[in-house]
Each structure stands twice: as C-alpha cells, then as structure tokens.
C-alpha cells in the first residue's frame, strides 16, 4: 500500500498495515487495537497536508472515511452524525449548528453550508482535505479561520479511552495551530460549527478578496458570491486540486507565514531595504498583541526563489504560487525536502527569519 497514492503531492512509501474506518466506531476500534499492540499509528485524512518519507510508515495507517452531517437551524439538537454521543453545543439565536463527521470532504461541507443559508465558512471554499483536519491546524484563508466558528471538537482520547467534547475555548487555537497539532493523544471524530443563519456572507476581511468582489473590506455580499470568488482566486494560484494542472500536485502552502514582533519586523525591514532598495516596504498584516504576519511568499521570492524555480530533481516551486512546492511527477520526498530546506535556509540567510513547515511531516524533518 503506497502512501503516495493517498496524498495530493503523490509522494510517500508503503505502510506496514492499512485500515479504512468507515464509521466512528471503526475509527475508535482501529486506533484502540493498534495502541493495545504497541503499533505506531498514522491517522490519514485527505492527504492534502501530508508529506511522508520515501521509506513509508512502519506502523498502522488508519484512513478516516466516516460520513455524516447534521444541521440544526436554531433549535437544540443533541447527537452525533453517526453514533449518537451527545454534543453540548446549543445554537444561539440567529445561529445554526452544523456537526460534521471527521471524514467528510471539507469543500463539500462548505458548499452545503452556503446552500443551506449558513454563513461563516464561505471564505474557506476550495481547500482540499477532510473536515476532521480543520481544527488541528486551525485552517484559514482569505480572512476566515475555523476557530471563529467552531463550537466544539469531539475526540477520542487515546490515553483514557474516552470520547470527549472539547469546547472552542479549550482547543488552544492560534495561527495555524491548536492543542491537537503535533499531539498524538487525540483523534478527531467530529467538528461542530456555529454559523449565522443568513444568505449574506460574514464581513469580507481580506483585501484581495474584497477587490475581486468589487467591495470594500468589511462589506457583506451573498455567500454564494464569496464562495465563487474564493475558488477562482485559489484556482489561479493552483490551490484547487485539478488532475489536469500539474501545479496542484502539492500540499498547498508548504510554509507558514511568520508572525513577528516589533524588533523582528524592524530587522526584516532593514534587510529588505538593503537587498531590494531603500524604498522597499515589507507587506504585513496585524496579528494582534503588537505582532504582524508577513507573507512567506514575499520573503521567498525576495530571497531569490521565484515561481517555477527548480533544482532539477523533480521537485519545484509552483509556477502559480511561490508557497506551493510541487512534485513534477519524478520527485522523491527526499528531493522535496531538500528544496524546502534550500528555501528555508535562503530566507533565513537573507532576512533572519526561519520559516516553519505547514504540512504534517512523517518520517522526515525540515
């Protein structure tokens, strides 16, 4: 069982054992059995944010294939999509609760919410992968993050064997992170979202998206319009999976946009002026607490790695978006990681910023 066949980047060696879990009970049972035997476990979702070593994974891969979406447009409704454990989220007035099994396709969830007249996920359209992965790295794009709408996350606690409902405020959400990221203790079973019952979108917070829609930042338009605009923007950047587009054979954004404090930002600005000219202004976005978020793509390009850059071993930068590292069809995971390290080192040497990897790395390190 080659894991390359289960990842969007098409890389990864064999799994020692592979189990497909079609229900929540099967998912819990598979993980529990592997844990009882001392077997390493890799939880596999859509494979869109996963880089696996060429040697593969020496343990049990559990593929999450659970299904179920429960919508409540404003009345308390207890229950899980497929096994009936209670959830304790109560919709507020004007809000609906959507509870989604971990194995549901994420973009299908967004499309369903928009079609049902529920707002709050529309800017997260076109993102590949499964719903259960979204709280782990606090998935976000175009001014929205799932932490803004998640009511609770239901998990299997591998240490105690219990199924827990963890409310939003206890999930430890941060920029592209949560208490679940990098921690093997929990397996996400379902996610509940509290969404506004309205056909108009949440306020548009991202300038590029607002420009595409022809509105001002903070305006609201129909959610269907936001969804269409986001998908078009993502397609232009090769960030929507398309078998006919080789630039989508990737894990999406490979590097996380760095969040910098005042002195760190000042150092980056000085380095940018020295390299690119005295009038250079480094783009940034407010990240709260006196910190700013700087586009990693901007740093990568100014460090000398442009769109389409390739060292000749099958791994390259996307021709559409500098953040995406692509398997041209002949790459290995080793080649991909060598390119990633070359970029990381170039940005660090140029700007003094160490970029972190966004995808989950299995058997390899940056």
Catalytic residue ranges: 176, 253, 358
Q: Name residue, tokens 């978006």.
A: 321
Question: What is the DSSP pairing of strand 163-167 with strand 291-293?
Answer: unpaired
Name beta bridge partners: 166.
Answer: 153
Give me the numbers of helices (H) and strands (E) for the chain, helices first please: 7, 19
- Say how far apart CA 17 and CA 41 lie, in whole Å: 10
- Say how far apart CA 331 and CA 327 lie, in whole Å: 5
Question: What is the DSSP pairing of strand 360-362 with strand 41-44?
Answer: unpaired
* DSSP type of residue 75: S
43: its two tokens: 């939880």
Q: Do 262 and 350 form a contact (C-beta atoms < 8 A)? A: no
- Say how far apart CA 332 and CA 125 lie, in whole Å: 30
Edge-first strand listing for the sheet containing 291-293: 259-260, 291-293, 285-288
Q: Do 254 and 238 form a contact (C-beta atoms < 8 A)? A: no
- Say how far apart CA 231 and CA 236 lie, in whole Å: 9
The backbone region for 8, taken as left when phi is positive above 0, alpha when psi lies in -120 to 50, beta otherwise, is alpha
Residues 6+ apart with CB under 8 A from 345: none
* DSSP type of residue 292: E
Residues 6+ apart with CB under 8 A from 88: 78, 152, 165, 167
303: its two tokens: 């460090």
């Amino acid at each position: 069982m080659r894991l390359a066949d289960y990842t969007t980047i098409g890389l990864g060696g064999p799994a020692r054992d592979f189990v497909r879990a079609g229900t929540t009970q099967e998912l819990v049972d598979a993980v529990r059995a592997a844990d009882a035997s001392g077997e390493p476990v890799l939880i596999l979702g859509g494979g869109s944010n996963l880089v696996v070593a060429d040697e593969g994974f020496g343990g049990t891969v559990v593929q999450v294939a659970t299904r179920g979406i429960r919508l409540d447009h404003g009345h308390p409704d207890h229950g899980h999509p497929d096994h009936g454990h209670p959830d304790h989220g109560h919709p507020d007035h004007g809000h609906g609760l959507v509870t989604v099994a971990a194995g549901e396709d994420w973009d299908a969830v967004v499309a369903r919410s928009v079609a049902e007249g529920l707002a709050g996920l529309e800017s997260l359209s076109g993102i590949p992968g499964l719903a259960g992965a979204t709280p782990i790295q606090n998935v976000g794009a175009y001014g929205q993050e799932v932490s803004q709408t998640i009511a609770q996350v239901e998990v299997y606690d591998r240490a105690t064997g219990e199924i827990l409902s963890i409310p939003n405020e206890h999930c430890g959400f941060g920029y592209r992170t949560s208490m679940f990221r990098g921690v093997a203790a929990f397996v996400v079973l379902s996610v509940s979202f509290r969404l506004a019952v309205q056909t108009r979108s949440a306020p548009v917070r991202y300038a590029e998206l607002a420009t595409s829609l022809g509105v001002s930042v903070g305006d609201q338009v129909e959610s269907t319009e936001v969804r269409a605009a986001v998908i078009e923007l993502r397609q232009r950047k090769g960030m929507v999976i398309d078998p006919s587009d080789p630039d989508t054979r990737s894990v999406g954004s490979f590097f996380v946009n760095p969040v910098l404090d005042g002195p760190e930002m000042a150092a980056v600005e000085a380095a940018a002026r020295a390299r690119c000219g005295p009038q250079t202004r480094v783009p940034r976005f407010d990240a709260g607490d006196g910190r700013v978020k700087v586009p990693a793509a901007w740093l990568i390009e100014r460090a000398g790695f442009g769109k389409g850059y390739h060292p000749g071993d099958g791994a390259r930068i996307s021709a559409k978006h500098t953040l995406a590292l692509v398997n041209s069809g002949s790459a290995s995971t080793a080649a991909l990681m060598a390119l990633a390290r070359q970029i990381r080192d170039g940005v660090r040497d140029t700007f003094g910023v160490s970029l972190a990897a966004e995808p989950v790395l299995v058997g390899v390190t940056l």
